[in-house]
Each structure stands twice: as C-alpha cells, then as structure tokens.
Structure 1
C-alpha cells in the first residue's frame, strides 16, 4: 500500500502535464506496470538529470566518439511507472526483463536486477550530449586519413532519447532514438516443473543456441575466488562470504553460447526460485566477470541443499543469488516471444 501511494505521489509531483496516451514523438513505458506512461522529449528534460561519460566503442571495434551524456536514470522512470508483477507464487521481480526498442525496430534486453540492484546512474535515458574533444592532434602518430573519421564521430548527430549503459565496457547496448520500454515476465513460456525439495546434485544448461548438457562438477574450469557481502532485501546483512567456483561467463562460452543482446539467462532451483540475467550484463559489462557458479563457501563444499550457488558480487542486494542451481535456460526474447509472455 505504501508503494502504491508513493507511485501516485510521484506521478502528481513530477508528471503533471505529461501525456498518458501514445504520441508521435513520445517514449512509452508499459507492460507489467501500474501506470503506463508516454513521455515527450521536452518532458524528459524537466526531470532532475545526471551526467556520465561514455567512451563509445563497440565490441567489434567501431569507434562512435567520446561524450558526456546528460539524462534521467532509467530506474527513475520505471519507479514512476510502478512495476507490478502478477504472479502470486513468485512475487519477487528478480526474474523480470526490460525490453528497450527504437524507431528503427532495434531491441536490446536488460534485466530488472541490473537496473534496480546497481547504482541508478549506470543506466540513463539521455536527452543531451557534449563531445569530449582531444587537446592535441594526431598528426605525429597517424595520417589524416586515419584520424579524421575518428574526429568526425565527435561531431555526429545523436538521436535522442538515447539509452546509455555507462557501466558497460563496450557500447553495443547504447541505443539511440528509443521509443518503447516494456517490462516483461517471460517465465510463463518456460516449461518448468516446481519441486518441493531444495536439492540438486547437478545443473542443466539448455535453450536457445545450445545443445543441452549437464554439469555435476566444475573442476575443469579455472577456479575463481571472491569475497562477498551478503545483504538481502528481506533479512538484511548476513556477513561476509568467501566463495570459490567458476565464472558463469566462461561456462556459457564453453557451451558455445554466442552473445546476443536479445537473449537472457534464467537460473532456477528445484523449489521454483529463479533469477534473470541479461546477455549484456554477462558479456559486455565488467560485472559479468564477477558472476560465478560457486561450489565452495568459506572453504567448505556446499552440501546442504545442492552443490551449486549463483553469486552476483556487484549486485547491491543478494536476492538474485540462487541456491541449489538446477537449470540455466537460454531464452531469445523476440517480439513473438513477448506476445506469448504477456498473454
């Protein structure tokens, strides 16, 4: 009830004069939200903004410039719309996805967790940009033919509003001229059978683009050790853990999974607990290297409730951690998939 009144307060306070119907040049927020919104560029500029630097180089090496972007945290807009999950059997939002689309029909998928369990300045809806110009020319080390196209990128026309994922190592998820933000729950299309007992001696990797296989031992992967704070939304601080295991990114790479910004990974346990990670946060963000499948905690093998735990060290809350991993499912989220998921 408190969250409901907070949403109403935010709308009355910050959204006076904003349109709630579709308009030609508006940004629409819909899906699993209480208050679907349609926000114009002019209205976006009225929000309190923050500034981030983005060094725009894509994963394939394309240089798109270096800019200071100013805009509104995506989290602010989603809190204004008030995300509302319909499932009573699993009410946590940790398995939700957020689809971002632009006028050209391009789409990328974010996880709920990377928006709400990280500092809000990492993902912006930008409304303005200023290029960061180099102080010296490049004549001494490169020819004009080489560096002029790079300088030209600093003067290029940027189409707003623009999704800026400032925390990524590469700029593939920074999408210009976005028109739609949809909060979705894809789990209705997952064929999962809930088991009452929390135990799994192995986990299975299955789904889009992968030949299904099971792992009962991760000794063949390089050992990764981490020190984590365990802080949950429900029970708060529960100490510091020494964890040891294998990188989820490396396990997925070895399984032959190719990065696709429209895919997500659902990690689930026999009791139905699950969390969702986006392909981008695993493969493009430095945080992806800090996501592990652990088989040892505080120097001891995990014997109670299964052998493996998903740990996400850069999350501010531990609620996306999954004990007793039973399955990792790779799912491609296309527009067709979205239609199935929302019915």
Structure 2
C-alpha cells in the first residue's frame, strides 16, 4: 500500500516538474496569461471594386510585441508592454482589388493610404507603404488577444485593454493604437500633379515645402549642421530588381522638417507627408513614419546635387524592402 502511495507521489512530483519546465522557456513573451479581447466587425470600403466585411475565419493569427506610450499634457507617458495576437492589415487587405481614383494620372500604388475608424468615430491613417513595403511584415495588426510582458523583478501589472485594437508596432508614441475598429477606407492622395513620365535628364535644384497647400519654405542647398547617417543597403526595386549594393549617406528628414512637428495627437494619428518628383512621380508617407518611429529605421534626405539625371535631392526609406518609395529629384514636399 505504501509503495503505491510513494509511486503516486513520485508521479505527481514528476508531472509538476514537467509542467513547470514547460513554462520556463526561452520565450520572454508567453509568461503571462493570454486574455481574449472583443472580436471586431470591420467593413472595408473606399477605392476598391470589392468592398465588404472582413472574414476573419480565413485569416492567420499573427503575434507582435509592443511597448506603448501616450501623449499626456504634451509628454510621452509609458502605459505598458504587451504581446498582442490578431490579424494583420497586410492579410486583411490582401484580397482587396484596388480601383484608384487617380489611376489614369498616376498608376503606382505608393500614394495610397488607409483611414481606420472605430466605434467612437476616431480616425487614424496608415500608408499603403507601411503595410506592404517594410522589411518586417505583419507588424500592424488588429489585436484580438493580449498578454502582459511583466518585468521579472518589479512584477508590474500593466492595465489590460478589453476591446480589440489597432497596434502599430513601429510607433514610438502609440496614439494610432485606437480600439474597437469598425471601418477601413482605402484612399489615394487627392491632389493632382502633372506627370511627365520618362523625363530625362531629370533634375530639381530645390525643394518647395508646402504646409496645408501653402508654400512656407524652400530647400535650395543640402542642409548643414546635421548628423549624417550611413545605411549600407541592397537597393532592390519591385519592378526592375537590383539597382545597387551601396551605402546611402543622408540626414534624417525628421530633423530637417522638425519645424513642422508640433508633437500633437492629431499629427500622429492623421498627418500625411507627400514627396513629389520633378516628373510627377510621388509617394505618400504618414507623419508617424517620419517623426514617430521606435525602430531607428529613419527616412533620409540624400544629397544628389552632382547627379545630372535624378538629382539634386532624393528620399531613402530605410525600413522598406523595395526601393519604390525612394523618390529622386524631389521638387516639393506637402505636409498635410
């Protein structure tokens, strides 16, 4: 009888040990309970030929990690670190058939963005480039599950959300992470520009800066007094493939354009910045892509004053896999 009890005790001890061993893995992000958030009901609309509701049953679940902060009285305040599981905008929009309003004038998709709305009527914008061009894909999600990432010493328990929410992992300040998403609208940049495809040589000796369509300044020479970043790069286009394996030396655009950064919630959520080339080629970024990154993959302004075709200034997005958003011979910057 005692031998049976001893055997049972050994089995219980071994089972407990195995369970604990399974919990103590090398993954820092699964050590707290995962909590379900509300499931969203989302309509996709806008410049597409197949609008409708999102069928989440056909989408894979993605997992991301995020350190979140909000603007409180104009200053960043940390609110918690979390692992989120959910559905990426990459997957959600993957089968949307684009029908650009300005397709006749400008066919490329790099002037597209999405407006994301929640049940409260709050809206934020995410560029098409943020979704489909980064080296690190699937890092903008609609989260439906959450787990705290708890510090091992302090054991701080950050407040958990209860509703589904948008999570943009590359944002330093998380004001775009709004909850209870109901609608995604696909849009192209509304302003029209003349296109002169094939212009050669193409050279723009200066950049005009427009704030809300009002000319406010010009860049006529490469700025002095700024640190120069050096990014070794395999420069690869979606259409033409490899361009070069070289180093891009440039100044962070957020430093050059800092005068127009008011560090407000509205700018972070809805700000747009468009770069226009001499030939009418253009590319749209969100304000957050330029001013609100946490990954140090900055957007640079490159000096190409000595380049006869494609000079004098170009834009280099370090976070992108493809070179398509690296606008050359920049003639104007529109800050919305």
TM-score range, shorter chain: 0.7 to 0.9
Q: What secondary structure, in the 3-state scheme, does the structure 1 residue paired with 2:49 have?
A: coil
Contact 1:221 / 1:246 at 8 angstroms: preserved in 2? no
Partner residue, 2:60: 48
- Please give the alpha-carbon distance, in whole angstroms, between the structure 1 residues aligned to 2:213 and 2:110: 24
How far does residue 282 in structure 1 lie from its aligned partner after superposition?
Answer: 1.2
1: distance between equivalents of 2:329 and 2:70? 36
Q: How far off its partner does 1:242 sit?
A: 2.3
The farther-off stretch of 203-212 and 61-70 is 203-212
* TM-score of the pair, normalised by structure 1: 0.76
**What secondary structure, in the 3-state scheme, does the structure 2 residue paired with 1:61 have?**
strand
Question: In the alignment, does 2:262 pair up with 1:258?
Answer: yes
How many residue pairs get matched? 285
Asked whether 1:329 is paired with 2:330, we answer no
Deviation string 1:101-143 (CA, Å, 9 cap, x unpaired) is: 11112111111101000232211111111223334447xxxxx
Q: Are 1:210 and 1:257, in contact at CA under 8 Å, matched by a contact in 2?
A: no
Q: Distance in 2 between matches of 1:123 and 1:69?
A: 10
Aligned to 1:267: 275
Q: Which of the numbers 258, 273, 287 marks the counterpart of 1:279?
A: 287
Residue number in structure 1 paired with 2:137? 120
Once residues 268 and 287 of structure 1 are traced to their aligned partners in structure 2, the CA distance between those partners, rounded to angstroms, is 26
SS at match of 2:257: helix
Distance 1:194 1:101, change over 3 A: same
Distance 2:295 2:245 in 1: 19
User: Which of these residues, 111, 115, 119, is aligned with residue 103 of structure 1?
Assistant: 119
Map 1:152-171 → 2, pairs under 5 A: 153-154=158-159, 156-160=160-164, 162-171=165-174
Q: Deviations over 1:229-263 (max 9, x none)?
A: 2111111112212222321111110x333240211
1:80 deviates by 2.2
Secondary structure of the structure 1 residue equivalent to 2:95: helix
1:28, distance to aligned residue in structure 2 (A): 0.9
* Aligned residue in 1 for 2:20: none
* Aligned equivalents of 2:332, 2:94: Cα separation in 1: 31
Contact kept, 8 Å, 1:265 with 1:328, in 2: the verdict is: yes
Secondary structure (helix, strand or coil) at the match of 2:209 reads strand
Task: Find the counterpart in structure 2 of residue 33 from structure 1.
Answer: 48
SS at 1:120 equivalent? coil
In structure 1, what is the Cα distance between the partners aligned to 2:302 and 2:221?
A: 11
Alignment-derived partner of residue 79 in structure 2: 64
Distance 1:289 1:206, change over 3 A: farther
Deviates more, 1:205-214 or 1:30-39: 205-214
Distance 1:167 1:264, change over 3 A: same
After superposition, the Cα gap between the structure-2 partners of 1:37 and 1:295, relative to the gap in structure 1 and judged at 3 Å, is: same
Q: Distance in 1 between matches of 2:177 and 2:80?
A: 12
Alignment of 1:218-297 (within 5 A): 218-222=222-226, 223-253=228-258, 255-259=259-263, 260=267, 261-286=269-294, 290-296=298-304
Q: Contact 1:45–1:127 (CA<8 Å) still a contact in 2?
A: no
CA RMSD between the two structures:
2.4
Residue 31 (structure 1) shift = 0.6
Aligned equivalents of 2:76 and 2:306: distance in 1? Answer: 41
Tell whether 2:323 aligns with 1:313: no
Unaligned runs of 5+ in 1: 1-24, 139-149, 332-343
For 2:148 and 2:229, locate their aligned partners in 1 and report how far apart those are by CA, in whole Å. 39
Q: Where do 5+ consecutive residues of structure 2 fail to align?
A: 1-39
Question: How far is 1:311 from its partner?
Answer: 1.1
Higher mean alpha-carbon deviation, 280-289 vs 190-199, is at 190-199
Indicate conservation of the 8 Å contact 2:297/2:317, yes or no: no
Distance of 2:213 and 2:255 partners within structure 1: 16
The structure-2 alpha-carbon separation of the partners of 1:63 and 1:243, relative to structure 1 and needing over 3 Å to count, comes to closer
Change in Cα spacing, 1:238 to 1:195, as seen in structure 2 (3 Å) is closer
